Structure 1
Amino acid sequence: MKKLGYILFVGVIATICILPVAVMPWQTEKAVGNEQLASFPELRKEDGSFNTGILNEFSDYFADHFGLRHEMITLNDQLTGTVLKTLDSSSVLLGKDDWLFYKSTLADYTGAEPFTARQSYAAAHVLGLMQEYCEENGIGFCFTIAPNKNSLYGGQMPARYTAASVRNAQLLQQQMEQQNVRYVDLFKTLSDHEEQLYYRRDSHWNMRAHSWQHRLC
């Protein structure tokens, strides 16, 4: 009985390992999103010499084209998201209720990299020069900042991250007010809006948020 169980276990593992290769000839793999799939490597280069990197190129090709690739990636994301409450991603953070946020916005959200007084002054000064140039040429000038998604929906961020009391946008706004730079505060306007203005699983504003921006500017 013990031997039979061992055989079944080995058989299942072997099937899982062989299946992606076995179905590969019948699977038409297409790129998803902006990814570019590796092409099948050539034995020789354009100049006729032997392609010494053929093994590495074939490894890249197989990684992009093995059978059931997208199904396995989807299953892995579902398991890590449901069981571990995280994502196997270097750029995306899983928040509450399956909200997604860019990890690149964490430093601003937590206040880990605040502007110095010199940086905020210099940024506002440059904007002031831009405003002056526009006005001299009969062009209206209005500056605004598109709020990061977690700036408006911090309640959907994982509890392990604490929002900063003062963020870089606020430091810059203080300098713009001192230097008379025309500015529209979308943070306050959009945060006061009852409707959801960002897509839950996307970093972009929805159409309602866009319409509010155009009205204000």
Structure 2
Amino acid sequence: MKKKYKRIYVAVFLAMCTVPMLFYPFSKSGAALEKREPVKTPSLTADGMVNTDFSEECEAFLADRLPFRPAVLTAANAVKSGVFKSDAANVVTGRDGWIFCEASVADYMNTNALSDERLRSIAVSLSLLDENVTSKGGKFLFVPMPNKASVYSEFMPSRYRKANTNNLARLQGMLAANKVSYIDMLSLMNEKKSFGLYHKRDTHWNYYGALLGYYGITDAMGKKHKMYDDTDYVPKKIWRGDIDKMLYPFIGTRDYQYDLNISFEPFEFVIPSGVTDIAGQLETFMSDKEENDKRIATRKTSNL
């Protein structure tokens, strides 16, 4: 009986090792879902010489195209992020279901601080652009966008300590000194943050955040614009965030999106073809080309 169980165990183990190999010819890179560049096909030669890194490159190439890779990564990240609340797949697991892009941590902790000279150079360059645009009868406005961690820092993990200042705060003081026209989007976002301006599981604003940004930018430009105060802001759990896709490439968690119920469609996305409804077009546009759409084109359908 023991031999029988051993044979079954060995057979199952061999099957688990063999079955994925059968799917290798049909497996594609999951780089698009994981928001990264695919691993290039390894070559035996490099710069006319034998490629000494061929074995490592070959291993990386095969791992990149591992059958069922999205499902395996999703399961592994679910344990890391969901159970142990630790970072996984370049994603920071925050509080109350919030997740953040790991790339924003350096700015959050100000470990990527630029020198005063570098920031001053940026401010001077922007002032020259401002002068050039203004001299030609135009209106210049610099719009630095805060990342989600800057606005909703209370949901960042306590192991990351927020710095008292960062590059943006220091730059804004220099912009004012150089008389650059700019808008303080961070203050604007903080004033309305209780409405929920960013997705919990995406790096971007939700539609309400985008509407607030539209108000702020057009006001700063001195432009008249339509107000949508009478529009119903209905949150619906229909959004799949870009960070959520990085964390759970196989299957993930839906996030809330505001249905603004605004019947205003001056443009439509015409690439990729076959997607006719506005919601579907925008969802594909926000997918970062993971659906093999090579380009995004628009066509004007009504007058502003």
What band does the TM-score fall into relative to the shorter chain?
Answer: 0.7 to 0.9
Structure 2 residue ranges without an equivalent (≥5): 43-52, 218-304
2:127 and 2:143 map into 1 onto residues whose CA distance is 13
Give aligned pairs, total. 206
Partner residue, 1:189: 188
RMSD after superposition: 3.3
Partner residue, 2:179: 180
- 1:72/1:113 Cα in 2 relative to 1: closer, same or farther (>3 Å)? closer
- 1:19/1:88 Cα in 2 relative to 1: closer, same or farther (>3 Å)? farther
1:60 and 1:164 map into 2 onto residues whose CA distance is 37
Q: Which has the higher strand share?
A: 2
1:82 and 1:110 map into 2 onto residues whose CA distance is 24
Q: How does 1:1-217 map to 2 (within 5 A)?
A: 9-22=9-22, 24=23, 29=27, 32=30, 33=32, 36=38, 62-89=62-89, 91-193=90-192, 194-217=194-217
Kindly indicate whether the alpha-carbon contact (under 8 Å) linking 2:101 and 2:203 is maintained by their aligned counterparts in 1: yes
| Deviations, residues 180-212 of structure 1 (Å, cap 9, x unaligned) | 211111101111112211122221122222222
Kindly indicate whether the alpha-carbon contact (under 8 Å) linking 1:108 and 1:168 is maintained by their aligned counterparts in 2: yes
Deviation (angstroms), 1:141:
0.8
Deviation (angstroms), 1:139:
0.7
Structure 1 residue ranges without an equivalent (≥5): 42-52
Superposition TM-score, scaled by structure 2 size? 0.57
| Deviations, residues 89-119 of structure 1 (Å, cap 9, x unaligned) | 2x33222234222222222111223333322
- 1:6/1:104 Cα in 2 relative to 1: closer, same or farther (>3 Å)? same
Kindly indicate whether the alpha-carbon contact (under 8 Å) linking 1:199 and 1:205 is maintained by their aligned counterparts in 2: yes
The farther-off stretch of 69-78 and 154-163 is 69-78
Aligned sequence identity (%): 27
- 1:62/1:31 Cα in 2 relative to 1: closer, same or farther (>3 Å)? closer
Kindly indicate whether the alpha-carbon contact (under 8 Å) linking 2:92 and 2:100 is maintained by their aligned counterparts in 1: yes
- 1:140/1:73 Cα in 2 relative to 1: closer, same or farther (>3 Å)? same
Partner residue, 2:220: none
- 1:65/1:113 Cα in 2 relative to 1: closer, same or farther (>3 Å)? closer
Kindly indicate whether the alpha-carbon contact (under 8 Å) linking 2:29 and 2:65 is maintained by their aligned counterparts in 1: no
SS of aligned partner of 2:100: strand
- 1:144/1:55 Cα in 2 relative to 1: closer, same or farther (>3 Å)? closer
